[in-house]
Every structure is written in C-alpha cells, then in structure tokens.
Structure 1
Amino acid sequence: MSQPWSFWLGWAATLIIASALVWGLMFAPVERLQGNSYRIIFIHVPSAFLSQAIYAAIAVLGLVGLVWKMKLAFFVAKQCIPVGASMAFLALVTGAIWGKPTWGTWWEWDARLTSMLVLLLLYFGLWALHNAMERPESGDRAAAILALVGVVNLPIIKFSVEWWNTLHQPATLKFTEAPPMHPSMLIPFLMAIIGFYLASMAWVLMRTRLEILQRERKSRWVEDELNRFAEGQ
C-alpha cells in the first residue's frame, strides 16, 4: 500500500506547498517590523518543525526495533535520517538568511541555533553508524541507541529561548495562546507546515520501499514480486 500512499501524498504535498508559497511569498501582507524578510518563515519554520519531529520518530522507531525486534521499524528509521537531515540543513540555511537582515549577522552561537546544529550533527552520526557497520543489523542497533541518547537535545531546542537569553524569537504557534499572525499570513503558514509533513511522509515511504527491497533482495517474495511485475509489463 505504500506505493499509492506515497503517490497521493506526494501530489497533495506538491499542491499544498505550491499554494502556500505563492500565497505567502506574493500575496501575504508585509510584516510591520521585519518587512518582507519574514516571508522566509513559510520555509524555515516547517523545516525546523519537521527536523525535530522526524528525529523523535527515529528514536521511537529505534526503541520499537530494539525492544520488539521489528525489522520494519529499523528500515523506516534508517530512511527517515536523510529526510530529517535535509530538513535540519534547510532550517539552518533559511535561518541564516533570515538572521542577516534581522540580527545583522549570518550566524550567532545562540542557544537555539547551536542546538539545531547539534541536531544536524546527530543526523550525520546516525547515517555514519549505518554505513560504518559491516552488517546492516548492527548499524540498525547502534543508530537506534544513538538516537535515543540524542533525544535529550530536543527539549533543549524547544525551550532554549525560554531557558536562556537568546536572539531567537519565541515560538510563533502555541497551544495555549491564540496565534499573533493575521489570517492572511497564518493560513498559508499552516498550509506550508501541512505540505512539508505530507511531502516528508511520501519521501520516507518511497525510500523505505527501496530499503526493504534492498535488504530482502535474496528473499523468495521479492523474486515473486519482480516476476509478477515483469509479467505485467
């Protein structure tokens, strides 16, 4: 079922993200204090949200794989890594672009920025562990343990602007408060977040399907599937 799901999720994500970016970058009003520079929020915030959510998912999947010995959990966790790393890198790059006109510098060793950089390095470490191990199963377990240890960085990212005096602004969206954004900004902002989540789900499904075929390529069921595909062609 992952093939049709990834297809429809991918198309839905494309339409939603395209609509959100056109609305947010071209038609949303200019922000009172930051001018047009705030428009990068439609890319920066969704990618930052996703980089943290995907890492949390990797940790949960790793725990499931370690405790219940579910191979599929390890497969999904591994293929979440490049997706999460891409989101973390995009969040850092767009944050730097946003920081230049706002703070007057591309980079500051701010608590939020530094902890996000640590998150990106954790993603690199997870991928390196997978590639360093001779047996894929060993890489799965080693990466799962690192992911669980690295979870401690997520609350640091989340609460860094409250625990320390940082340049980074507080969260725009809070469950306990009404959004401070005008609906003409808020709607495309929420659309962008939803679109990024859907795109990442489609990406992970496609990568996981290839991972399963690669890991199980010598299994009988893969040969049967390939024969069935060849006959259908």
Structure 2
Amino acid sequence: MPMLHALANPARFLKIARPLTPALFWVGLALTLFGAWAGLTQTPADYLQKDSVRILYIHVPTAWLGMGGWSSLAVACLSYLIWRHPLAIVAARAIAPVGAIFAALCLITGSIWGRPTWGTWWEWDGRLTSMLLLFFVYVAWIALARADAERSGDGRIPALFGVAGTVLLPIIRYSVIWWNTLHQGESIGLTRSSIDASMLWPLWFTLSGFSLLFGAIVLMRMRALLAQQKVEARLRRRAAQ
C-alpha cells in the first residue's frame, strides 16, 4: 500500500513511466508480431473452421483486454473514491479510450470470424450483445468524464460509474453458460484449456504482446494528460495575475 501511495505522486510516476513506456511498447510489439506470424504460418488449420480460426490470435486478446481494461478502470476509480489520489482518475481517463478500442476490435474481429462460421456477421447472442453493451458503457464513461472535467467537477460521478460498470463483466464472462448462445464456450482458463497445444502457444505471445501494448498506450496517455493539466494550471495562474 505505501508503494501505491508513493506512485500516486505525479513526479515519481513520471520518473518511472518515461523509461518504462518505450520498453513496454517495443517488447509488446515484438511479441504481438511474432505471435501473429506464428499463428498464421506455424499452426494447423482447424478441422471444422479451417483457416478462419486463425483470427483467434487477434480476437481473444482484444476480448480479454476489452474486459481487462474496464477492470483496470474500475480499480482506478475505486482508488480515487477511497484515497482521492488525482493520479487515479487520470489513470481511468487514460484507460477508457484504449479499452473502448480493444472492445471495438473484439466486436469487429468476432463479426469477421462469425461470417464463415455462423453464416452471419451479427447475432443478438448473449456474449455478443453484452460485449457491445460494454463498448457503449466505455463511450458513456468517456462522455461523462469529459463533461465532469468541463464543469470542473471533482471526478466522483465518473468514478462511481466506473465502479458500477463492473456488473457487466460477470455477465460477459458467464453469458455462454447462462443462455443458449451461438458463441462457443470458454476455451481457455487459468488451469486448463480445450485448445490444442499446437495452436495455443502463439496465442500466449499475442496475448502478452497486446497486454504490454495496452500498458504502454495507457502510460503514454497518462503522461499526455498530466502535461495538459500542467499547461492548463500555468495558464490559469497567468490569467489570475
């Protein structure tokens, strides 16, 4: 806990984030490209879905990070509500657009995968609908946070919304169990996987790579938001003189 409080200091955070951002970005990019290459060229086609199954190397990581992004946003919002660390709401503002992009990529790649598999681009299925709802919740949070900042709010309302939005995550997670759905059941868990090992290992590379890229982009955005706040504070001081 003292470590978290120390990192909540913007100066300390920036001192760590500056060298960490490019390291995360380039390592993440290398892992993603290698995993994508391996998935396209080094793995067998599925006996039912043929080569269309290869989109899983993009679809699965974007789905995980679309949901993981909201989990991170909710943790940042909860930290802000409890400790009132300004950096926490900055982190939430940085995460939201990145998470929304990954949720959108999940929906797009899922539709592309669904066309040859299900014979349709879209189905109002429990998993697809709940993921689409998560994307809209991201957009709503971004709009709410922007409106709160424009009226010089204290960030409490978007923070509460960020925590409340976590109710969607178990719905997405268990939708394939609770309802009849076209979407396949869980293929990968923490302790087991139904995917053959020959197809699984490239997925871990793309998942790790996308996760590092996600972190790098969030750090870039946090640094940009802090710089913007610094400029705005300087302009206000000059205007008050």
Normalising to structure 1: TM-score of the pair?
A: 0.90
Q: Partner of 1:103 in structure 2?
A: 118
Please list the CA deviations of residues 52-102 of structure 1 after superposition, one character each: whole Å capped at 9, or x if unmatched.
Answer: 011011111101101110000000110100100000000000000011111
Q: Partner of 1:162 in structure 2?
A: 177
Looking at structure 2, the residues matched to 68 and 137 of structure 1 have their Cα atoms a distance apart, in angstroms, of 19
Please list the CA deviations of residues 150-169 of structure 1 after superposition, one character each: whole Å capped at 9, or x if unmatched.
Answer: 11110000000001111100
Return the letter of the residue paired with 1:77.
A
Residue correspondence of structure 1 range 53-132 to structure 2 within 5 A: 53-132=68-147
Evaluate the alpha carbon distance shift between residue 93 and residue 71 of structure 1 in structure 2; reply closer, same or farther with a 3 A threshold. same
Secondary structure class of the residue paired with 1:151: helix
Match status 1:51 vs 2:105: no
CA RMSD of aligned residues (A): 1.5
Please list the CA deviations of residues 162-220 of structure 1 after superposition, one character each: whole Å capped at 9, or x if unmatched.
Answer: 0111110011111343x222322111011110001000000000110010111122568
Secondary structure class of the residue paired with 2:231: coil
Which of 8, 17, 20 is the aligned partner of 1:5? 20
Which stretches in structure 1 are left out of the alignment for 5+ residues? 221-233
CA contact (8 A) 2:148 2:158 kept: no
CA contact (8 A) 1:131 1:139 kept: no
Which stretches in structure 2 are left out of the alignment for 5+ residues? 1-15, 235-241
Looking at structure 2, the residues matched to 9 and 143 of structure 1 have their Cα atoms a distance apart, in angstroms, of 28
Which of 208, 218, 225 is the aligned partner of 1:204? 218
Q: How many equivalent residue pairs?
A: 219
Which of 161, 164, 178 is the aligned partner of 1:146? 161
Q: Deviation at 1:135?
A: 4.1
Q: Deviation at 1:31?
A: 0.8
Which of 206, 209, 212 is the aligned partner of 1:195? 209
Evaluate the alpha carbon distance shift between residue 137 and residue 57 of structure 1 in structure 2; reply closer, same or farther with a 3 A threshold. farther
Normalising to structure 2: TM-score of the pair?
A: 0.87
Looking at structure 2, the residues matched to 72 and 115 of structure 1 have their Cα atoms a distance apart, in angstroms, of 30
CA contact (8 A) 2:149 2:155 kept: no
Looking at structure 2, the residues matched to 134 and 188 of structure 1 have their Cα atoms a distance apart, in angstroms, of 42
Which of 33, 36, 44 is the aligned partner of 1:29? 44
Looking at structure 2, the residues matched to 139 and 123 of structure 1 have their Cα atoms a distance apart, in angstroms, of 20
Match status 1:175 vs 2:182: no
Looking at structure 1, the residues matched to 232 and 88 of structure 2 have their Cα atoms a distance apart, in angstroms, of 20
Q: Partner of 2:12 in structure 1?
A: none
Looking at structure 1, the residues matched to 32 and 190 of structure 2 have their Cα atoms a distance apart, in angstroms, of 23
CA contact (8 A) 1:130 1:140 kept: yes
Q: Deviation at 1:145?
A: 1.3
CA contact (8 A) 1:132 1:139 kept: no
Looking at structure 2, the residues matched to 209 and 28 of structure 1 have their Cα atoms a distance apart, in angstroms, of 39
Q: Partner of 1:184 in structure 2?
A: 198
